[in-house]
């Protein structure tokens, strides 16, 4: 029997008592623009400063997003005493060094996904944040979206029953340019770290860490993982099939199938979307939930910013919805998949 209605999602709405933090934006590229737009439109957070390797890029970004202070280096930004939190939006290869820079300056730190290029480096960041007593969080924004809260509630309420499978994919046809960051080994390119992390984190959210990882796929000419299918086995009979690619645009849907019901997430499942709950009958009833918050597409990045401010206000040092242990565990899954695909050993550190 399906429930009559969906649970009300627990959301991090702005203006619910969270502090208005002063944010420093480090590395103003594509996602930093989307993040700044979302923060300015949809939160009570304050973008206070920006730093780029190029003074011109920093000034343009500051003008576009109403930011007062421009720093001429990343080091100057993290040393700014009027910044509470640093948002790191550089490519994956830079996350470890820049994360350590921000944490070392005593700032709360939000690092774009993936937190690092492998689990060992993520552990270094976690230890540094614990030693410094600052909050550290991976910008896995999908965790803070309304649909994620609905899914967590459906699973916790037992509506889905025992989860038997997650079937999810994230594939994009990224232009085949060897200089694009996703094709470059030196920038931490490859499908798994950038796109495959979304289906893997969904699997982790509902099933936890896998018992076994099996990956098949192939590399690009430039030596990064181009496409793969990952099978994750978990306790009980749970077996998940997750696909990713930087060569092919795939459906970007997700399914969580359990003994009593299944949840189907509409594409693209990692941004604000809708979901359908269905029982196990072949032609049975279904119930559809839609995100009616009015926060659409990349504006969904606002949820993670307000969530982070809430956690800081609560004195937390990590996200309760996506703990640092889980962040490391997801990277360990990616490490193992990349190792099986033949990615270079020096990148998939032990
Ligand atoms: N949450 C999401 O939906 C989402 C979407 C896309 C990307 N991301 C993540 O965000 C990060 C950045 O991706 P993006 O697409 O925004 O990249 P991008 O447009 O290439 O911007 C990255 C910025 O990083 C800075 N940077 C620092 N060191 C660099 C280096 N060695 N090479 C190139 N750039 C360097 C550059 O800024 P300055 O030179 O101006 O300092 C550059 O503009 C990645 O970790 C990615 O996984 C997240």
Assign 3-class secondary structure to 170-212.
Answer: EECCCCCCCCCHHHCHHHCCCHHHHHHHHHHHHHHHHHCCCCE
Within a domain: 47: yes
Residue of minimum CA distance from atom 8 in ligand 1: 31
Q: Where are the beta strands (DSSP E) in 82-193?
A: 85-88, 108-112, 136-139, 163-171
Interval between CA 26 and ligand 1 midpoint (Å): 10
Within a domain: 238: yes
Residues in the chain: 350
Kindly name the residue from 41, 107, 113, 317 that is annotated as catalytic: 113
Q: Looking at the structure, do residues 126 and 151 belong to the same domain, yes or no? A: no
Give the pLDDT score at 348.
79
- For the Cβ of 270 lying below 6 angstroms from any atom of ligand 1, the answer is no
Q: Looking at the structure, do residues 127 and 203 belong to the same domain, yes or no? A: no
- The residue range of the domain holding 169 is 143-292+321-341
Q: Give the CA-trace dihedral at 274, 30, 324, 96, to 10 degrees.
A: 160
Residue of minimum CA distance from atom 15 in ligand 1: 30
Within a domain: 40: yes
pLDDT in tens, 6-44: 999 999 999 999 999 999 999 999 999 999 999 999 999
Could you give the percent of the chain with pLDDT greater than 70?
99
Q: Is 4 noted as a catalytic residue in this protein?
A: no
- For the Cβ of 31 lying below 6 angstroms from any atom of ligand 1, the answer is yes
- For the Cβ of 91 lying below 6 angstroms from any atom of ligand 1, the answer is yes
- For the Cβ of 304 lying below 6 angstroms from any atom of ligand 1, the answer is no
Interval between CA 115 and ligand 1 midpoint (Å): 13
d(CA 27, CA 319): 23
d(CA 236, CA 257): 14
Within a domain: 269: yes
The pLDDT of 99-118, averaged and rounded, is 98
pLDDT in tens, 44-58: 999 999 999 999 999
Q: Looking at the structure, do residues 196 and 333 belong to the same domain, yes or no? A: yes
What number does the ligand 1 atom closest to the CA of 186 have? 31
- For the Cβ of 181 lying below 6 angstroms from any atom of ligand 1, the answer is yes
Of 349, 120, 333, the residue nearest 209 (C-alpha): 333
For the entire predicted model, the pTM comes to 0.98
pLDDT in tens, 290-334: 999 999 999 999 999 999 999 999 999 999 999 999 999 999 999
Q: Is the pLDDT of residue 344 over 90?
A: no
- For the Cβ of 201 lying below 6 angstroms from any atom of ligand 1, the answer is no
Q: Domain boundary at 109, 142, 175, which? A: 142
What number does the ligand 1 atom closest to the CA of 193 have? 47
Q: Looking at the structure, do residues 123 and 216 belong to the same domain, yes or no? A: no
Cβ proximity of 106 and 135 under 8 Å? no
């Amino acid at each position: 029997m399906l429930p009559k209605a969906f649970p009300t999602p627990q959301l991090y709405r702005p203006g619910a008592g969270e502090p208005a933090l002063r944010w420093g934006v480090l590395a103003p590229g594509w996602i930093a623009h989307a993040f700044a737009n979302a923060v300015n439109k949809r939160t009570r957070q304050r973008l206070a400063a920006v730093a780029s390797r190029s003074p011109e890029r920093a000034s343009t970004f500051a003008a576009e997003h109403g930011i007062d202070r421009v720093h001429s280096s990343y080091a100057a930004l993290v040393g700014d005493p009027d910044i509470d939190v640093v948002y790191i939006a550089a490519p994956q290869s830079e996350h470890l060094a820049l994360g350590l820079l921000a944490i070392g300056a005593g700032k709360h730190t939000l690092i774009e996904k993936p937190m690092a290029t492998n689990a060992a480096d993520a552990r270094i960041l976690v230890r540094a944040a614990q030693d410094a007593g600052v909050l550290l969080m991976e910008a896995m924004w999908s965790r803070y979206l309304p649909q994620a809260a609905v899914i967590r509630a459906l699973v916790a309420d037992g509506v889905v029953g025992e989860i038997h499978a997650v079937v999810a994919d994230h594939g994009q046809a990224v232009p085949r340019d060897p200089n694009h960051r996703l094709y470059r080994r030196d920038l931490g390119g490859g499908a798994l770290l950038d796109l495959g992390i979304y289906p893997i984190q969904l699997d982790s959210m509902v099933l936890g860490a896998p018992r076994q990882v099996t990956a098949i796929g192939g590399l690009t000419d430039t030596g990064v993982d181009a496409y793969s299918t990952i099978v994750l086995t978990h306790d009980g009979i749970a077996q998940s099939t997750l696909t990713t690619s930087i060569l092919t645009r795939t459906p970007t849907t997700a399914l969580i199938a359990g003994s009593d019901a299944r949840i189907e997430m509409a594409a693209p499942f990692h941004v604000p979307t809708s979901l359908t709950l269905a029982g196990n009958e072949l032609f049975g009833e279904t119930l559809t939930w839609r995100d009616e918050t009015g926060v659409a597409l990349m504006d969904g990045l606002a949820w993670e910013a307000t969530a982070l401010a809430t956690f800081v206000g609560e004195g937390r040092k990590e996200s309760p919805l996506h703990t640092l242990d889980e962040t490391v565990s997801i990277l360990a899954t990616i490490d193992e998949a990349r190792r099986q695909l033949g990615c270079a050993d020096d990148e998939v550190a032990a």
